[in-house]
Amino acid sequence: MSALAAPRVAEEPLHRRLGLTDDELVAIEARLGRRPNDLELAMFSVMWSEHCSYKSSKPLLRTLPTAGEGVVAGPGENAGVISIGDGLAVAFKIESHNHPSAVEPYQGAATGVGGILRDIFTMGARPVAVLDALRFGDPADPRTRHLVDGVVRGVGGYGNCVGVPTVGGELVFDPSYAGNPLVNVMAIGLLEERLLTLAAAPGPGNLVVLFGSTTGRDGIGGASVLASATFGADEPSKRPTVQVGDPFAEKLLIEASLELIERGLVEGLQDLGAGGITCATSETADRAGTGILVDLDAIPRREPRMAPFELMISESQERMLAAVVPERWPEVRDVCLRWGLPVAVVGRVTADGDVTIVEGGLDPVGRPNPAAVELARIPAKALTSDAIVHARLASPPARHRPAPAPGAAVEGSGGLPERGMDPGAVLLALIGGANLSSRQWVHEQYDSHVQANTVERPGRGAAVIRIKGTTKALVASTDGNQAVGLVDPWLGAALSVAEATRNVSITGARPLGVTNCLNYGDPTRPEAFWQLQEGVRGLGDACRALGLPVTGGNVSLYNESPAGAIAPTPVIGVVGLLDDAATRVGPAFLAAGDRVLLVGSSTPGLLGSAYAELAGVAPEDGPPALDLAREAALQVFIRTAIGRGLVASAQDVSGGGLAVALAEGCIWAAEGRGLGAVLRLPVKGAPAVELFGEAPSRLVVTCRPAACAALLELARQHGLPAEDLGAIGGDRLVIELVGQGATGASEERGSGVADAVDVPVADLANAWEHGLARALGEDGPDRSPGDDGRAGNPPEIR
């Protein structure tokens, strides 16, 4: 349990047991001008935790571009908000719940969903979509399977019940997450701009109202003990720090909060997350330049005899804090009670700038009763905007290799065992592998269509959500590249931004802004802090190059376990806008006879690719280079081409390279019935680089034959190489390799090995559909084969 409750056997001083350093205690005393008492120390310990204070990352985050067209609210608010016309705005943010999920996967993931949803509706937006970006260790490991099952059930159990569709995300397996899985959840909401509500407590004399669930002993020290420290061997002892979610209460909280905002009954609204009442009161007071007086006796609680520090730092879920004009209180109370939510006036907004905690009640005008006892008094800004900031040491690890300059030749790139490589067999192995196969097993446990807005269901690229009453649609994607990030964290982050925005652009949508979840290691280790520093630099460079604002996000540090630190993992969330949902382009091949174009050219470097993982990367190899200017041009090109109606389908070349991108277009064609293609691929270098290399800034674009010339010309105008590879047709994917590289490679590999990929689409589809369930050992008797009503599947005779 928490240090305050723990028996004082270990004679560590209290501040250390609460996770504060000696320097931090000195800084606290400087701000107070005296020694803090135990309750005040507990309040500082949560607010000065990495999780709440960003004390290590703040200086880095200040370097990110935050201005952009239509930005209504940026970093510092609960979520970023961007105007989309028609008086509407979109609110979105991504957040991590990594450590709670490692300790208790179901509740950790469930409360992760609940927390990010509250960040959205706190601002007056109705949540319309959730995306979950998940990362685990080896899928064959029973511990991983336990975590995957619990996390997926947790995300579904919460999202399905609150009635917000889970429309996308990622599921990635990498050994570095074995002891420390990543559970990042992104939420998107829609609001009328006029209803935008900020998390501030203005107006001295206003009532401070707490509504939603009652306050209990769950999640004590979640922010300080759990989220802001490295895992040791004592994970089970951290279980009491995990919060417990109640999605039914959250659903009521959504409806009540949106009704309060719609009717203009609140002056400010803040959800209670990490740091509980301490965080909500100090942040809202600091933002408004006011203070808050809290009466502990007035807090509705679910357990008797709770200590003051427990009430102040409890992270009980599904609670909201509102600033209310006294005259409005009866209406506010009625709304909450009609939704069956406990509600109470727990304090007053004051003018003194302090967060003051008393026991013994307030009089009718909000002054403490004569008998009341003052337990704590801390300047609000000392807990928040004036919290300590650490200048951490950064130094690159010895094995770091910088990314090659764009276009520069890379020594030994593609230096992989080509001998005996049958490209068709490699393709089947890749597309049936744990990371590139269908995520259906996950998505079928999530309600992806509640609210009747889901245009593109999860599993085939970016999610598409129509906006009722308009022709518009929101397009969203999350992406994160940890494999390259391990070698070059700058490149890993920049690639993640490039891929997430590319996935939005290829639907025809214009990316609006970027949210990010930065998952890194212990910032007190110079190597880990260097990775964070480089990651933030890559994020900023890529966003500036693409002209996109960073509207908010979350930093998750200390992602380490006895097994080691995770690969640096910046998970990037992007939201885009389609002016006319009907013009949306998908990744599936449409019709036989359509031409298949490759736009953009491959660059050497297989490190970090799925192929390298399969074949074993040559030690001297490096990752492919990223040219941000070309990436920007590529995205403008595809949006323009789609706008002119030239494009039948578009898919970006990413995991598994060109061969996998082509295979996906084939598998997904004709509502899953599949379509083949007969293609000729010019090979300059090694076949592995051309077929399976993951060089960025490339697209597979298909079109009617009549549009082909115009597309090639448009690509030329944007300075992009483009080639007509062949046509869609038949029931096999055939990729013939032609040119110097191919011939040389075939001789080198000796006889009996075909240069061409030639695989039946049915085989590709089969490998892709069952790969994940197989990897997780979930393709057991309870999921026997048989069709899902999809046209064209062979009927099962029983």
Partner 1 sequence: MVRIGVVVFPGSNRDIDAVNALRVAGAEPVVLWHESADLGGVDGIVLPGGFAFGDYLRAGVIARFSPVMRSVAGYAAEGGLVLGICNGFQVLTEAGLLPGALLRNRSLRFVSRQVAIAPQRLDSPFTRALESRRPLRMPVAHGEGCYFAEPAALDDLEAGGGVLFRYVRSDGSTAGEDDRANPNGSLRAIAGVTNAAGNVAGLMPHPETAVEAILGSEDGLGIIRSLVDSAAERAAAGRRSAVGSAR
Binding stretches for partner 1 (CB under 8 A): 153, 156-157, 160-163, 246-248, 251-252, 339-340, 443-455, 457, 466, 468, 581-582, 782-793, 795-796, 798
Helix axes 105-121, 247-262, angle to 10 degrees: 0
**Where are the strands (E) in 337-492, listed by range?**
343-350, 354-359, 373-379, 454-456, 463-466, 473-479
Closest approach, Cβ 767 to partner 1, in A, equals 18
Measured in residues, the chain has a length of 798
**Closest to partner 1 by CB, 750 or 795:** 795
Closest approach, Cβ 585 to partner 1, in A, equals 14
Q: What per-residue string of b and e applies to 309-329 under the rule 16 or more CB within 10 Å gives b?
A: bbbbbbbbbbbbbbbbeeebb
Its sign, for the CA torsion 583, 647, 590, 460, is negative
Residue with tokens 């070059």: 488
Q: What per-residue string of b and e applies to 393-417 under the rule 16 or more CB within 10 Å gives b?
A: ebebeeeeeebbeeeeebeebbbbe
Backbone angles phi, psi at 373, to 5 degrees: -110, 130
What would the DSSP string read from start to end of 118-187?
A: HHHHTTTPEEEEEEEEEEES-TTSHHHHHHHHHHHHHHHHHHHHHT--EEEEEEEE-GGGTTS-EEEEEE
Please report which helix (H) or strand (E) contains residue 90, including its range: strand 88-96
Closest approach, Cβ 785 to partner 1, in A, equals 7
**Closest to partner 1 by CB, 115 or 586:** 586
Is 51 marked active-site?
yes
CA distance 772 to 240: 33
At residue 712, what is the residue type? L
Mapping DSSP onto H, E and C, the string for 350-362 reads ECCCEEEEEECCE
**Closest to partner 1 by CB, 87 or 792:** 792
Its sign, for the CA torsion 84, 86, 87, 92, is negative
Closest approach, Cβ 788 to partner 1, in A, equals 5
Closest approach, Cβ 582 to partner 1, in A, equals 7
**Closest to partner 1 by CB, 154 or 608:** 154
Closest approach, Cβ 157 to partner 1, in A, equals 8
**Closest to partner 1 by CB, 400 or 457:** 457
Catalytic residue (one of 51, 99, 718, 770): 51
Is 97 marked active-site?
yes
Task: Give the chain's radius of gyration (CA, Å).
Answer: 27
**Closest to partner 1 by CB, 171 or 252:** 252
Number of other CB atoms surrounding residue 364 within 10 Å: 5
Closest approach, Cβ 27 to partner 1, in A, equals 45
Give the strand pairing for 550-556 and 510-519.
Answer: parallel
Closest approach, Cβ 235 to partner 1, in A, equals 26
**Closest to partner 1 by CB, 428 or 455:** 455
**Closest to partner 1 by CB, 163 or 760:** 163
Residues 6+ apart with CB under 8 A from 497: 514, 538, 539, 542, 543, 546, 548, 572, 574
Catalytic residue (one of 15, 97, 718, 770): 97
| Residues known to be catalytic | 51, 97
